[in-house]
Amino acid sequence: MTSFRKHVGKELCLFFQFHFFLFHFLMRRGKGPGPGVVTLPALPLWLRCSHQVLLKTARGKHSTNTILLLFTYFGYIYKVQPFFLELHFYCSISFLFPSRNKMSFRSTPLALIQLLLPSAGAYPCMCQIGEKGLVELRDLNPGVSSFKRKFVGEILRYDNLEHTLRYLYEEVMKEGVTVLEDEVSPKAPSPRDALDIQSRAESLQQELQEVTRNCTSFTADLTRLIEYQGLLGALSSFLTPLTCSSPSPEPSEGIRMSSVYGIIATARIPSFELLLWRCCCGFSFLHHEELPQTFVASQTEKPVKRSVFMISYWGERIGEKVQKICQGFHGRILQCPESLTEREKLLSQLESQVSEIKTVLTQTEQYRHQLLIQAGSVVWGWLVQEFLQERATYSHLNSQFENPPSLLRTNKFTYAFQNIINAYGVASYLELNPAPFTIVTFPFLFAVMFGDFGHGLLMVAFALALLYAGKSESVRHSTNEILSMIYGGRYVLLLMGLFSIYTGLIYNECFSRPVMIFSSSWNVSAMSMSDDDIRHNSYLTLDPVFPGVFNGPYPFGIDPIWNMAKNKLNFLNSYKMKMSILIGIPHMGFGLFLSLLNHMHFSHWRDILCVVLPQLLFLSSLFGYLCLIVIFKWVYWLPINSKNAPSLLLDYIHLFMFQGGRKLYGTQEQTEKSLAALGYICIPWLLFSKPIVMYISHRRKEQRSLMSLQAEDSPLLTGCNDDSEKIDFDFADEFMLQAIHTIEFCLGCISNTASYLRLWALSLAHAELSEVLWSMILSNGLGATGVKAPFILLPFFCAFSCLTVVILLVMEGLSAFLHALRLHWVEFQNKFYHGDGQLFSPFSFKLLLNSREQTTDT
């Protein structure tokens, strides 16, 4: 017992609690003669469960525990079926404990569990799994067609039910019926209840379709009667002016005047009248009058206005043309009696018919509305959700991948940063997740390129406005893709704005203007210049050699006096270029350090010795040294002796050529030669070591396999072992692959270091654009004086504000965002991150319903 407990450990406790939880619901299928009556004795149920916990052990392997458990349940069972349904699924080993959605440096450890279930117990088991939403199922039959799987009949039946429910939902939404949804989602129904659901939905659909057809027919009849009524009412006004009109062209002898009456859309009257005039050559007269009612078009279901018309013409050929023109304009020709008495009699008949049809139509619409209310309250709140759960259960039973998925926990703050990483690629199982580091480094690199105190404040204000707008339900669940994307990145915008404020204070820029937070460290009075010299010279040189001119470094950030200096760009370019190098090289080195942690976690000691270690030494010896001499130059050469400072560019070139340059310190030549030699040694180390070690390891495996084969006596066993131990290995392929990786890394160190200079370039571009907008626009408005100054300043300020938002905040912000994204995806993550995993997608009814609601809203 002690050895068994030692072998299984805490995993047995989690395993037993999990399966007891599952079978507590699975085996509650008692149906005795009365409530609480047990008619059969306890029946044992043997269940073989293979529990593979994918956790790192001391030797870096995966532990596999096979446990045989006995479950006993009480209840009346009609038939015990053999175990022929097998389920494999992943679940988090911490599923028994409440999740706090804490982001971790690696994906949450998962357990691979195998269940062998009877067919009758598979459905309730899957229902409970879907209710909890804790496991992701694996497809054990990837090569089997979807039409040949076990539950394909049930899925097809629920596909047909989906069309029925979709029709009911569309009719409910079209009518505008209020849908009463339950706060708690109902449980998945049993297969027997699902049949009742299907029959009820189909009967409801048939009844609703019949009532809808009747409503459509009654509405069409009512429309025709109202139009006919309007035509008869307007006919008297048509005939009166016709007799008093001006004389028409003299018709030929024997030809009498005829008339055509009908209905046409009001929007077509102008073109209809023009075509009649041109085709009939003036031998026709058109009289029309718009009806006061608004009708609904049968095809577009949009409100339209219609008019009655009367066309008087001479001749049969003209009459044929009139008939064709009316048909072309979709006009409906009606027959009207010419006698006033007959028209009045017909009008009274139409009024009674209209009244009867309105009564019948009102009753039919009320009955249809009651059906839709029933569909909205019952079908949506009960049928649809239960149908989705039922169909999802059978779908996952039908598709019962090889690598474990990655469960990456997030919350509303870390969600956007994790999506930035997932857009590049999802972390493999237990691989280091870059998202926790990206929360700090991404907004910081953005702020280095976007650094401006004023622009950062505007971005923070916009992010806070998004946070405040998030209280509204319409904003949180907006179907607008752009709005939902911006709202999802609200915390990213907030951090980018805060870091921009920080870097803006360091650059001492607020809308391109410096802020005098502290007194300047430079003093012109110590130069002993007269007032005339200061007044008549545009530029004065402040030489720190003179005592009192320079009083030490500025307390925080850049001295504001540099904004007035002629050599401002020279100073800022040198500062920001070196700052980009000092940020980029440690960032890449940190990526290699994370690669070391990854290989240590998976116990890839060969990769650590043959790949990661030479990469770290190569980057540190050749590029890390550059950072050290930059800092050394800043510390050692003060403004007083800055004229004697050497050029780091020439010294760095001499390092690669083993040539001694100007000495920065005493042992510089020996140190640089040693570092250069170490860096050059790392190249063949990186190129040859891994293929050679793999070749030696392969030879040893072949020798052990050969020795085991020689020890066997049976030729049958020998042949079998020979096939099983055969391992494909090609030294040339491995060497070429490692050569490509070596060249890529060595050249990548140079190109990636140069790529970080974009921090300097975009920061300079942002500062210059801010300067241009200030000097070209707002400064002109600020120069106005007098009473009219506010009115002159207003248009300049509006133009400055609009251009600042459009160019500097939107365009420049998007550019800095994309460049920061590239620095993380390419320069940082390619050092350690593979991103070839897949997200943990649990079988959950809740997620299924939420996704269906979003699809329905769109």
In tens, the pLDDT along 546-598 reads 777 788 888 898 988 888 888 888 889 989 999 999 999 999 999 999 999 99
Residue in the structure block whose two tokens are 């450890």: 109
In which element (H, E) is residue 46 found? Answer: strand 43-56
pTM of the shown model: 0.68
* Average pLDDT estimate for 700-711: 76
**Residue 89 pLDDT:** 57
In tens, the pLDDT along 48-79 reads 333 333 333 323 333 333 222 222 222 223 23
**Residue 798 pLDDT:** 93
Q: Which residues contact 329 (CB under 8 A, 6 or more apart)?
A: 264, 265, 268, 271, 272, 275
**Residue 170 pLDDT:** 75
Please tell me the least confidently modeled range out of 4-18, 274-288, 743-757.
4-18
* Average pLDDT estimate for 140-154: 67
Please tell me the least confidently modeled range out of 79-83, 234-238, 296-300.
79-83
**Residue 589 pLDDT:** 95
Nearest to 809, CA basis, from 455, 314, 279: 455
C-alpha dist (Å) from residue 467 to 392, 415, 461: 36, 15, 10
Q: Choose between 346 and 677: higher pLDDT.
A: 677
Please tell me the least confidently modeled range out of 307-316, 492-501, 622-631, 733-742.
307-316
C-alpha dihedral sign at 261, 265, 267, 271: negative
* Average pLDDT estimate for 688-710: 84
**Residue 66 pLDDT:** 29
135-137 and 110-118 as β-strands: parallel, antiparallel, unpaired?
Answer: unpaired
* Average pLDDT estimate for 733-750: 92
In which element (H, E) is residue 43 found? Answer: strand 43-56
Residue 726 reports pLDDT greater than 60: no
Q: Which two tokens stand for residue 799?
A: 């133009």
- Cβ count near 688 (within 10 Å): 15
Nearest to 168, CA basis, from 140, 122, 207, 139: 207
Q: What percent of the chain has pLDDT over 70?
A: 71
In tens, the pLDDT along 195-225 reads 777 777 787 888 888 888 888 788 888 778 8
In which element (H, E) is residue 339 found? Answer: none
In tens, the pLDDT along 160-169 reads 777 777 777 7
**Residue 322 pLDDT:** 85
Nearest to 79, CA basis, from 40, 115, 47, 116: 40
Residue 5 reports pLDDT greater than 50: no
Q: Which residues contact 816 (CB under 8 A, 6 or more apart)?
A: 446, 449, 450, 762, 766
**Residue 68 pLDDT:** 27
Please tell me the least confidently modeled range out of 105-119, 285-299, 791-805.
105-119
* Average pLDDT estimate for 474-499: 88
Q: Could you give the strand order of the β-sheet that contains 83-92, starting from the edge strand earlier in sequence? A: 62-73, 43-56, 110-118, 83-92, 135-137
Q: Is 23 exposed, middle or buried (0-12, 13-18, 19+ CB in 10 A)?
A: buried
C-alpha dist (Å) from residue 790 to 662, 776, 781, 785, 804: 60, 18, 9, 9, 20
* Average pLDDT estimate for 750-764: 94
First to last CA, the chain: 59
d(CA 768, CA 787): 33
The answer to whether 110 and 54 are in contact (CB under 8 A) is yes
Hey, where are the domains in the chain? 2-140, 162-399
* Average pLDDT estimate for 23-33: 38
Residue 854 reports pLDDT greater than 70: no
Please tell me the least confidently modeled range out of 402-416, 689-703, 755-769, 824-838.
402-416
Q: Which two tokens stand for residue 405?
A: 């998925």
